[in-house]
Amino acid sequence: MNETDASLYLFANIEGGHVFWSNQVSELGPLLVYERLLSGKYDRVKYEKLITNLRATKLEEIKESIDKTGSIFLTPQSLDWPTSLDDLSATPFGLVVKGDLSALAEKSLAIVGTRNPTPYGLRIAGDFAAGFVDREWSIVSGGAYGIDSAAHKGALIAEGRTIAVLAAGVDVAYPAGNARLFAEIAENGALVSEVLPGSHAIPSRFLTRNRIIAALSQATLVVEAAFRSGSLRTARDAAELLRPVMAIPGPINAPTSEGCHRLIGERAAEIVTSVADAVELISTL
């Protein structure tokens, strides 16, 4: 048993974003945490299900499932690990990455927003993605319909690189209509997941993956978001990491822009109206 194998055991059995276990692994290392769990050093009753699952986990089958997708399992000890993730209060035990690992080390902008955008929002997301790609940035988003897809496509059309942080396994096309887009992203950038191949998206995983989107990026841009939106969670995550947050204004009566106006009104985001504005803002912070 080595540190990477121990990380994989924990990765397979503990949902991402768990602050207690993340802190334990950061302090003690994955191997010691794994050994302490199996030897009863943690509450046997409270963690009975976790301990039982750890004992039943077949490591070789997990490794094979990752290999079959053409992916790599990265841990914080890996040379290609994106160290910006270490700023999180709940650093991942690892990541499954399909594509070019070097994409994770490039300076990048997160572009996020509603799944039900207006044509205006789609155009803005694509234009900003292309504009940043032209300036040798990569684009990070969540692979969902709407603004996410427009951002990924804008980067690819501009012959740049983009990273999709998924709430499902790298081999699970969710949403199904983006299967072709995911294949293109894997060829030019990377698909990133905090769950094993074959894992399906559940609501909590969208929230935990948002923190990874924020942490991977030097700044976050919100393009159209409802008053209550998962995109606002990504913006909050970025702000907690002291990363610049920007928002695109829209018509004052547009529900799809209420979230952006809320961020701007609360001074939680800076208003930007052009790629040049955004680049200048980031460079001054």
Indicate whether 278 pLDDT > 70: yes
| In a domain? residue 77 | no
**For position 257, what pLDDT does the model report?**
96
Indicate whether 90 pLDDT > 80: yes
> What spatial distance separates the first Cα and last Cα of the chain, rounded to whole Å?
44
Residue bearing the bigger pLDDT, 267 or 284:
267
* pLDDT per residue as tens digits for the range 106-158: 999 999 999 999 999 999 999 999 999 999 999 999 999 999 999 999 999 99
How crowded is the C-beta side of 120, counted as CA atoms within 13 Å? 11
Q: Are residues 168 and 278 in the same domain?
A: yes
Residue-number span of the structural domain to which 201 is assigned: 101-284
| In a domain? residue 90 | no
Indicate whether 101 pLDDT > 70: yes
CATH number at residue 272: 3.40.50.450
**For position 283, what pLDDT does the model report?**
84
Q: What angle do CA 205, 208, 209 make, to 5 degrees?
A: 80
Buried b (16+ CB within 10 A) or exposed e, 48-86: eeebeebeeeeeeebeebbeebebbbbbbebeebbebbe
Q: How confident is the model at residue 199 (pLDDT cuts 50, 70, 90)?
A: very high
pTM: 0.95
Q: Are residues 143 and 216 in the same domain?
A: yes
| In a domain? residue 92 | no
Q: Are residues 271 and 142 in the same domain?
A: yes
Q: Are residues 169 and 252 in the same domain?
A: yes
Backbone angles phi, psi at 17, to 5 degrees: 85, 10
In whole angstroms, give the CA distance from residue 186 to residue 111: 18
* Residue percentage of the chain with pLDDT more than 90: 97
Q: Are residues 263 and 155 in the same domain?
A: yes
Indicate whether 285 pLDDT > 80: no
**For position 75, what pLDDT does the model report?**
97
Query: What does pLDDT average to over the chain?
Result: 96
* Residue percentage of the chain with pLDDT more than 70: 100
Residue type (1 letter), 1: M
| In a domain? residue 69 | no
Of 60-74, 94-108, 225-239, 261-275, where does mean pLDDT reach its minimum? 225-239
If 0-12 CB within 10 Å is exposed, 13-18 middle and 19+ buried, where does residue 19 land? exposed
> Which is nearest to 163 in space by CA: 104, 220, 91, 237?
104
**For position 211, what pLDDT does the model report?**
97
Q: Are residues 188 and 49 in the same domain?
A: no
Taking the CB of residue 217, how many other CB atoms lie within 10 A of it? 28
Taking the CB of residue 235, how many other CB atoms lie within 10 A of it? 29
Indicate whether 65 pLDDT > 70: yes
- Tokens encoding 210: 């948002």
Three-state DSSP class for residue 48: helix
| In a domain? residue 72 | no
Residue type (1 letter), 120: Y
Q: Are residues 46 and 110 in the same domain?
A: no
Count of structural domains, the chain: 2
| In a domain? residue 83 | no
- Tokens encoding 237: 């995550």
Q: Are residues 119 and 220 in the same domain?
A: yes
Taking the CB of residue 205, how many other CB atoms lie within 10 A of it? 21
Q: How confident is the model at residue 214 (pLDDT cuts 50, 70, 90)?
A: very high
Q: Are residues 38 and 169 in the same domain?
A: no
User: By the 8 A CB rule, do 162 and 188 touch?
Assistant: yes
